[in-house]
């Protein structure tokens, strides 16, 4: 009888111990998530405007998120648009972004609110309007659609007296099968008027159509990006190399998230 009792007790423990272990393992799941990303693009375009004068860019960042919805992140890319502007004595080759916010959902509607700071380290001549920019943003996502609005709390990317500039962005992605996803975007950048500058001078719309897929564990994308930004001589979006920065272009990207 003692042997039977001992055997039954051992069998019970053998079943119970893995269950307890699994419960402890599940309970110990961390609420913290860390990810990184690295990308190579044939040209860096931001809101449709060329940032590297038709040259490639290497980009990457790190993100932290908490199960509560709070997140923080940083991202960087090489740029040349400031030195390409021909202002003289400008030395900058980096954009460094820092951001944080909160994500959540109400039913099928996801939302995202936060702050984003664009930092352009370098040296600038006296009187040069700082390109460093702070924006507050809010976004709503439903199914394949995301609508986002960003509002400048400072001057926007070196435009004088441009505090209050706004950018509205509607984007969508749709899986078409075979591992391919179609992506689309339409946005409008509004830059306030000031002495010597009408609101229509530097305000513009931009759009993108493209496709992405996975190749050897990396995300590969091909997009056509275009704008109606004013890029003729003496206008807002023409650089010292006589290039229209908003003119349509095809952009290839290869990236990895880890």
Mean pLDDT of 227-236: 97
CA–CA separation, 214 and 187 (whole Å) = 26
Q: Indicate whether 49 and 22 sit together in one domain.
A: no
Contact between residue 164 and residue 134 where contact means Cβ atoms under 8 Å apart: no
Q: Where does the pLDDT of residue 8 fall: very low under 50, low under 70, confident under 90, or very high at 90 and above?
A: very low
Q: Indicate whether 19 and 95 sit together in one domain.
A: no
Hey, CA dihedral for 165, 146, 65, 41, is it positive or negative?
negative
Q: Where does the pLDDT of residue 101 fall: very low under 50, low under 70, confident under 90, or very high at 90 and above?
A: very high
Q: Indicate whether 42 and 6 sit together in one domain.
A: no
Residues 6+ apart with CB under 8 A from 28: none
Contact between residue 111 and residue 86 where contact means Cβ atoms under 8 Å apart: no
Mean pLDDT of 244-248: 98
Please state the φ and ψ torsions of residue 199, each to the nearest 5 degrees: -60, -35
Mean pLDDT of 81-102: 92
Q: How many Å separate Cα 94 from the centre of its chain?
A: 16
Q: Indicate whether 9 and 111 sit together in one domain.
A: no
User: Alpha-carbon Rg of the chain, whole angstroms?
Assistant: 25
β-bridge partners, 152: 135
Q: Indicate whether 19 and 105 sit together in one domain.
A: no
CA–CA separation, 113 and 104 (whole Å) = 9
Q: What is the CATH number of the domain that holds 111?
A: 2.40.160.160
Q: Indicate whether 117 and 203 sit together in one domain.
A: yes
3-state secondary structure of 23: helix
According to DSSP, residue 231 is labeled -
Range of the domain at 131: 32-257
β-bridge partners, 173: 183
Please state the φ and ψ torsions of residue 235, each to the nearest 5 degrees: -95, 175
- What is the token pair recorded at 224? 């056509």
Average pLDDT, the chain: 92
According to DSSP, residue 17 is labeled H
Q: Indicate whether 144 and 203 sit together in one domain.
A: yes
Q: Indicate whether 228 and 250 sit together in one domain.
A: yes
Q: Indicate whether 60 and 146 sit together in one domain.
A: yes
What are 103-159's pLDDT values in tens digits? Answer: 999 999 999 999 999 999 999 999 999 999 999 999 999 999 999 999 999 999 999
3-state secondary structure of 248: coil
Structural domains in the chain (count): 2
Secondary structure, 3-state, 173-221: EEEEECCEEEEEEEEEEECCCECCECHHHHCEEEEEEEEEEEECCEEEE
- Report the predicted TM-score, pTM, of the whole model to 2 decimal places: 0.89
- What is the token pair recorded at 55? 């040259």
Between 256 and 22, residue with greater pLDDT: 256
Lowest mean pLDDT among 8-12, 92-96, 151-155, 213-217: 8-12
pLDDT at 86: 79
Q: Indicate whether 69 and 19 sit together in one domain.
A: no
- What is the token pair recorded at 210? 């493209």
Q: Indicate whether 20 and 86 sit together in one domain.
A: no
What are 34-86's pLDDT values in tens digits? Answer: 999 999 999 999 999 999 999 999 999 999 999 999 999 999 999 999 999 87
Give, for 145, the enclosing helix (H) or strand (E): strand 145-152
Q: Indicate whether 12 and 49 sit together in one domain.
A: no
């Amino acid at each position: 009888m003692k042997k039977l009792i001992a055997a039954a007790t051992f069998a019970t423990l053998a079943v119970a111990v893995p269950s307890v272990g699994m419960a402890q393992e599940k309970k110990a799941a961390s609420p913290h998530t860390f990810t990184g990303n690295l990308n190579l693009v044939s040209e860096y375009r931001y809101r449709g405007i060329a940032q590297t004068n038709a040259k490639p860019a290497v980009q990457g960042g790190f993100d932290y998120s908490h199960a509560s919805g709070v997140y923080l992140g940083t991202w960087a890319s090489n740029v040349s648009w400031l030195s390409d502007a021909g202002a003289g004595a400008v030395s900058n080759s980096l954009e460094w972004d820092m951001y944080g916010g909160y994500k959540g959902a109400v039913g099928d509607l996801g939302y995202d609110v936060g702050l984003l700071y664009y930092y352009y380290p370098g040296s600038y001549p006296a009187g040069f309007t700082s390109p460093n920019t702070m924006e507050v943003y809010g976004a709503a996502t439903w199914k394949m659609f995301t609508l986002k609005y960003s509002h400048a709390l400072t001057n926007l990317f070196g435009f004088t007296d441009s505090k209050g500039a706004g950018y509205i962005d509607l984007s969508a992605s749709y899986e078409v099968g075979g591992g391919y996803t179609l992506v689309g975007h339409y946005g409008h950048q509004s830059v306030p008027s000031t002495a010597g500058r009408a609101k229509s001078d530097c305000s513009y719309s931009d759009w993108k159509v493209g496709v992405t897929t996975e190749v050897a564990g990396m995300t590969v994308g091909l997009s056509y990006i275009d704008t109606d930004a004013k890029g003729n001589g003496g206008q807002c979006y023409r650089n010292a190399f006589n290039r229209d920065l908003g003119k349509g272009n095809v952009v290839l990207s290869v990236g990895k998230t880890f």
